[in-house]
Amino acid sequence: MDQFTLNLLVVGATFALYIGIAIWARAGSTAEFYAAGRGVHPVMNGMATGADWMSAASFISMAGLIAFGGYDTSVYLMGWTGGYVLLAMLLAPYLRKFGKFTVPEFIGDRFYSPTARMVAVICLIVASVTYVIGQMTGVGVAFSRFLEVSSTTGLLIGAAIVFMYAVLGGMKGITYTQVAQYVVLITAYTIPAVFISLQLTGNPIPGLGLFSNDVANGQPILSTLEGLVTDLGFKSYLTQSDTTLNMFLFTLSLMIGTAGLPHVIIRFFTVPRVSDARWSAGWALVFIAILYITAPAVAAMARMNLINTMYPNGVAEQPVARADVPDWVDNWEKTGLLKFEDKNGDGLIQYVGDKDANELTVNNDIMVLANPEIAQLPGWVIALVAAGGLAAALSTAAGLLLAISSAISHDLIKGQLNPNISEKGELLAARISMAVAIAVATYLGLNPPGFAAQTVALAFGLAACSIFPALMMGIFSKRINNKGAVAGMLVGLIVTLVYIFLHKGWFFLPDTNSFSDSDPLLLSIKSTSFGAVGALINFVVAYVVSNATEDTPEEIQELVESIRIPKGAGAATGH
């Protein structure tokens, strides 16, 4: 059986599974559409949360970033993992105890203000739309290679699949679909990693193989990789090149952005009790750790295999001729994500660190997907990786789109525009909102502002500067009133957006088009790291404004007290 047919069968089988689950778990009420009827077991919810969390950025792009960025990009692992610890300890149980459906609903009730609720809706939509662009980009990357269609066609197919199971099933359908998607993506990620680790180190556990010796020369594999990249003129793989300030702020932005992402938070609204929210967060960490412990090994070994492909006789010898490259190079070159330009006309692929002399351009997002082909693994492994990459992108996209549609139907339409809408009408509004959100996400996914993980990093910064401070102050401070919360969210979001837009050269102002991530506007702070600064500004503005205005009403202070000090692990109240 040829590779294309095998890819089609495996990917088609997983899509059929997702749609079948959605039909079986069709939402029949708003409680099922928004929160899966609050009846999801903590282990199942932990697995679904893992799939919701491990997006195209984690599955497709993170290892690619680490493969080419080395030590500096380890912040993605630290920030995203640390964020879950914050979420489990500081937010999940308290928000579950409050017993609402959405993050804006909590913010609106806690800060006793429809304005605060609407500002939270805006913040949620801005962060979630930015995040979902990265997922749709990942869908296009996976489809363009493995199903041999254009990225645009792949995006449209992926959007159609999400439409079928997300609009039909809501949170109930998405939850059980994400459980299946987790199984697919973690299997697809670990099996190739085990094969490649065995090939290069003889150790079947990739995380341990990373610290083992290279079977080819008996030297530690990281030392071997360091020698390869430095000999070719690339930056060191094992030493820090970014500033400590930027690395610290970027890690912090990813951490608090993780804890403030609405599509992750709403997963903890689906369990029966407060204690289940804590257990869900714990299980999610376990399921996520399986991939995150494996990712650094996948990254390092993919980079080694790439270099060995370009220099089959060693980096001191002649590079490979364009006519002699393996089939995987031709396959990925057709997608436009890998490009060869023969600058000196010698027919050889010069893969070097000097930008002027380098003739090979490799998109970060292809490394995990191309890894099985680079390592010459069996065709069924390649097909499985294709299905896993699509599962990762689609699972997170569905969660984000649900967060967006819930904010529009529950917080905007029912909360503001039509409070007397019937449950049937609200359910219809939720499904229409989901369909519109999918259409918008697909459109934006066709022209993303960066590769998947970079776009996602911006979304974390936006969540960090707006939603996370409001949730933290809402739970742990009685003093923050409605005016302080609104002012903090608006100022934090606006300042961060302006910094990002200026830094990326997206404003038509003199000299801004020259700015890049290597040319920060403030000290050494890059656009992806500014979310932590925006969060600090949010906190400061909220406290200053709150202290300059009236006290929080007594009943709100009592509400904060009841949220912060859960009484046992009994069932939470609320609708």
pLDDT of 89 > 90? The answer is no
The residues, any chain, with a CB within 8 Å of residue 313's CB and separated by 6 or more, are: none
Higher pLDDT, 135 or 81: 81
Residue 328: band (very low, low, confident or very high) from pLDDT cuts 50, 70, 90: confident
Query: Where does the pLDDT of residue 512 fall: very low under 50, low under 70, confident under 90, or very high at 90 and above?
Result: very low
Query: Do residues 89 and 472 lie in contact, with contact meaning Cβ atoms separated by under 8 Å?
Result: no
Specify the range with the lowest mean pLDDT, choosing from 66-75, 102-111, 457-466.
457-466
What pLDDT is stored for residue 541 in this prediction? 98
Where does the chain hold its CATH 1.20.1730.10 domain(s)? 3-306+375-459
* Centroid of chain to Cα 388: 15
Say what the pLDDT of residue 453 is.
52
Separation between Cα atoms, residue 357 and residue 184, nearest integer Å: 41
Q: How far apart are CA 462 and CA 253, in angstroms?
A: 9
Task: Quote the pLDDT of residue 62.
Answer: 86
pLDDT band of residue 357 (cuts 50, 70, 90) is very high
pLDDT of residue 374: 84
| C-alpha–C-alpha distance, residues 323 and 347, integer Å | 8
Phi, psi (degrees; rounded to nearest 5) at 61: -100, -30
**Mean pLDDT, all residues of the chain:** 86
Q: What would the pLDDT profile of 335-351 be if each residue is shown by its tens digit?
A: 778 899 999 999 999 99
Mean pLDDT of 400-406: 87
Q: What percent of the chain has pLDDT over 70?
A: 93
Q: How far is CA 546 from CA 3, 87, 543, in A?
A: 62, 25, 5
Domain 3-306+375-459 has CATH 1.20.1730.10: yes
Mean pLDDT of 353-373: 88
Instruction: Say whether 331 sits in a helix, a strand or coil.
Output: helix
**287, 186 Cβ separation under 8 angstroms:** yes
Residue 489 pLDDT: 95
Local confidence band at 88 (pLDDT 50, 70, 90 cut-offs): confident
Across residues 532-538, what is the average pLDDT? Answer: 96
Structural tokens at position 394: 């689609």
Query: Would you state the pLDDT for residue 316?
Result: 83
The pLDDT assigned to 457 comes to 67
pLDDT > 90 in the chain, percent: 41
Q: What pLDDT, on a 0 to 100 scale, did the predictor assign at position 519?
A: 59
23-32, 91-100, 417-426, 507-516, range with greatest mean pLDDT: 417-426
Burial of 550 (0-12, 13-18, 19+ CB in 10 A): exposed
Residue 568, pLDDT above cutoff 60: no
CA distance 482 to 63: 42
pLDDT digits (tens, 9 = 90+) for 279-315: 898 899 899 999 999 999 999 999 999 999 999 988 8
Look at residue 238 and tell me whether its pLDDT is greater than 60.
yes
